[in-house]
Structure 1
């Protein structure tokens, strides 16, 4: 057991393993109730037992297994506990002898991770997010960091909003407010753990990456560098007010509260037992929402294209010094679980959404788009991910929702931007075996799956992790920092894998090339019709209209 005497927290007990000290389950905020704003904790009882992970926030109890399903390999996991108001905690991993590693600095760089999960599932207690091996690797590679992983509210407590709730004083985007509170706690309290409060890098995957984009709207600096992994403000896109009102009314009806007054409804929603809440709330969109505050307006490709000339729209472009952004080559795999309707009509419904959105003068563009992705207007019966029914649509999703935003953000970022592509195939049995699928980069990054990999696969994960560690130290991402440009200049990226082809890292690769494995299929339509218009077609397809 390890102990530190913290000037604000008191005596904090942690656990030492493999030269890394873990402090787990430290509360960073308190909640008056499940829908209230987070209150940054400033007073503690004199000592904290931080030897085990804290409770998860209210969320599906099978959430961890769901993500194991996406990764296609599970890890041993403990019995999780859940809490309505005590789930806002964080884990800290620090080198055991960090004092000897400081050199002339004020502290070690701090790596903060925000998990994904569609704003519905996720936790810092999940074994795939354990940061101990990541920190151990940072020490062994001569560039030590401190790693922090955070919990934040999800689902109803995190993202349910409506005019009725706001009139009662309950703000939107509780989950994002939790994240910002955690970042403020870290800046205030990380120094006694060995971290530099002025050298914080925030990384997030999927919904965690989108969260980072939303935090760039903050006028107050929240971090020094950002690593956006497989997500942006364009995916998962924040919900507009009509959708949040629909979700709220649906939840109210499902809970049997529609006959009550507004005050009675809200009081009941706060008081209903968590298990009952989870059991009765149907599948409705509960995600980050445009609220005129944390998310002032809907993000679009058009707005991103003006980043360099309209930085006031996104203040974080001024205070975030470095941006690294990347994607898995088949990130669209995540959308297989969201496909609406029966598979036998998938092609025709998708084609109809494209053709009815891109009408008139754009009809030829619509037909060209469908042809480029080999999506027929008539459908056949299919049932698997790899067949010619679903795969082309998922490839379209990869390009539109992940690669096109990556390209637009990196090309228009006014500061330094670096881009990576994770091309390492999924090595485990499942529908995505052999494909660089969504969330796979996390399995490689944190080194928690190394026992289940070949030597060559491990090398890809180590190279990826070392580069992100170097980024925390201000070294850029490999050798391509500042080389991703718009205009006539070539866009260079850093590519991880495919190890089966003898590739660990490929540096300085053209973004759209045979070597990168990425084609410019979707981005060429920007000038023809605009990617925002194509996003409308995608939204129409998802809604079933």
Structure 2
């Protein structure tokens, strides 16, 4: 007689073993979601590790408390009023899972926060992953180095390793942590979707074009961002990034890298501030074409088919311009707007410009200036992302336009879709609105969450009970996420085609950087 012993998988509880040690998270909430916060995915990037590639975290022997967020990375935003502790020691991540057992292999969704590569953290109440996790995915969010700590390039640093994109290398390290550890939280390391907003979406577009990211994620969702190009032209080159680093060192008394590494973090951070009054691409420490993480201008990599050939869902909001009005062309009068447009786009293209952005009256010019700002800061590059990926990859592509408004969200501004994606429906601070959500807002959140989770599962947002979302093709049809949810031809196509006509081999003109 044979005796068969069946191995049983231990029930997933609040104590989980990662490769570095045990972590203890929160008890399951009413929806059955376990939450783990503040797990180190890399060693603190301090002292000699400042401006070096992220290193593995040191293992620990005791059970590590994972019930509070780790400190956010230092913010370069002037007078940043966002709550929460900040520190140079900030490379922490968070996990939400409703898995009952560790072998469930649930789809994984990894959130990359926005903030112009200058501010933001994974502790934002709007991006709490609990409600998404309750829908059957494992959600991960993390911090990454920002501003001068994340993106300083300097010739002396190049003697150690290619310098500049430490923040992007942090993102890669977090994704490697997911690949190595997420199965112990009930996630599937072979079904990882990255999703992000603004600079988070731009990071995703950049990573899709990076050979170093291959195999670390399998689907991508980009909300209001794509390549970190637009009004400023293309992504900065490594020489420009080095010149910026050298100029900063000169400002610090011709400081050496050793001296800069010895300078207190808060002092360095205060010496490299950024505000919304200026474009971060030309006035702050941001990603560059370093020929290591970023081999070439990302849009060009997509044009040549050198990106990751994975399913992509991407889109933009109807009023992206709201936080970026300081980057608008002069709009105090129709004449001033037309003159600025002629300087930027050329006299021979002014007639075409005015068909896309009419300026017959001062009021019309003001409206066109706002539309143009949203288009060249965010919208057109998202549209290009869809078109280029569809044209050079056989992977499915889905596009959307978020134009929903309600008393809770009176303007479909940049970032306003985020509380719907997570279902948190926190106050819409970017537009200064504190009106609480109503039933229609909650219904839209459920719809968007379902689309996003379906895409994470299968690479297709469609599912039972949802309005059909067609794949993006040459007809330029996008899913309208608004009061009505329906597929329609892209209403901004004429404007985007005009701006896109200035791309040569996928690259926008560098001369735009010099237009006031």
TM-score, reference length from structure 1: 0.78
Shift of 1:407: 3.0
Quote the Cα distance in structure 2 between the aligned partners of 1:115 and 1:182: 13
Which of the numbers 201, 221, 228 marks the counterpart of 2:215? 221
Write the mapping of 1:140-539 to structure 2, written as runs, cut at 5 A: 144-169=136-161, 171-219=163-211, 220-235=214-229, 237-254=234-251, 256-258=252-254, 260=255, 265-283=256-274, 284-300=283-299, 304=302, 306=303, 310-311=304-305, 313-314=306-307, 316-317=308-309, 320=310, 322-339=311-328, 344=332, 348=336, 351-359=338-346, 363-375=347-359, 390-412=366-388, 413=390, 414=393, 415-425=395-405, 427=407, 434-449=410-425, 452-474=436-458, 476-478=460-462, 483-486=471-474, 490-498=475-483, 503=484, 505-506=485-486, 509-512=487-490, 518-525=491-498, 529-532=501-504
Shift of 1:129: 1.7
**SS at structure 1 position matched to 2:157:** helix
Work out whether residues 450 and 458 of structure 1, in 8 Å CA contact, stay in contact via their aligned partners in 2. no
**SS at structure 1 position matched to 2:266:** helix
Shift of 1:441: 0.7
- Corresponding pairs, count: 471
Inter-CA distance 62–194: structure 2 relative to 1 (3 Å threshold): farther
Deviations 1:405-443 (A, max 9, x none): 333332342111111211112645xxxx63210000112
Quote the Cα distance in structure 2 between the aligned partners of 1:345 and 1:536: 27
Work out whether residues 356 and 498 of structure 2, in 8 Å CA contact, stay in contact via their aligned partners in 1. no
**SS at structure 2 position matched to 1:39:** coil
- State the partner residue of 1:28: 41
5+ residue gaps, structure 1 = 67-76, 139-143, 381-386, 513-517
Inter-CA distance 524–47: structure 2 relative to 1 (3 Å threshold): same
> After alignment, is 396-405 or 407-416 more displaced?
396-405
Deviations 1:488-534 (A, max 9, x none): xx333222112xxxx2x22xx2332xxxxx2322244379x534599
Work out whether residues 333 and 365 of structure 2, in 8 Å CA contact, stay in contact via their aligned partners in 1. no
Work out whether residues 151 and 166 of structure 2, in 8 Å CA contact, stay in contact via their aligned partners in 1. yes
Inter-CA distance 33–303: structure 2 relative to 1 (3 Å threshold): closer
Quote the Cα distance in structure 2 between the aligned partners of 1:168 and 1:224: 32
- State the partner residue of 2:14: 3
Say whether 1:82 aligns with 2:105: no
- State the partner residue of 2:26: 15
Quote the Cα distance in structure 2 between the aligned partners of 1:455 and 1:330: 23
5+ residue gaps, structure 2 = 1-11, 275-282, 428-435
Shift of 1:253: 3.7
Which of the numbers 97, 100, 105 marks the counterpart of 1:98? 100
Quote the Cα distance in structure 1 between the aligned partners of 2:341 and 2:331: 17
Work out whether residues 57 and 153 of structure 1, in 8 Å CA contact, stay in contact via their aligned partners in 2. yes
Work out whether residues 424 and 436 of structure 1, in 8 Å CA contact, stay in contact via their aligned partners in 2. yes
Inter-CA distance 198–299: structure 2 relative to 1 (3 Å threshold): closer
Deviations 1:43-75 (A, max 9, x none): 333421101001111214878746xxxxxxxxx
Deviations 1:351-395 (A, max 9, x none): 445424544xxx34223303531347x9x7xxxxxx656542231
Work out whether residues 187 and 197 of structure 1, in 8 Å CA contact, stay in contact via their aligned partners in 2. yes
Inter-CA distance 2–98: structure 2 relative to 1 (3 Å threshold): closer
Quote the Cα distance in structure 2 between the aligned partners of 1:134 and 1:447: 7
**SS at structure 1 position matched to 2:288:** coil
Deviations 1:439-468 (A, max 9, x none): 001122112226821111121111111110
Quote the Cα distance in structure 1 between the aligned partners of 2:133 and 2:242: 43
Work out whether residues 126 and 424 of structure 2, in 8 Å CA contact, stay in contact via their aligned partners in 1. yes
Work out whether residues 353 and 540 of structure 1, in 8 Å CA contact, stay in contact via their aligned partners in 2. no
Work out whether residues 8 and 42 of structure 1, in 8 Å CA contact, stay in contact via their aligned partners in 2. no
Which of the numbers 43, 58, 67 marks the counterpart of 2:59? 43
Work out whether residues 75 and 147 of structure 2, in 8 Å CA contact, stay in contact via their aligned partners in 1. yes
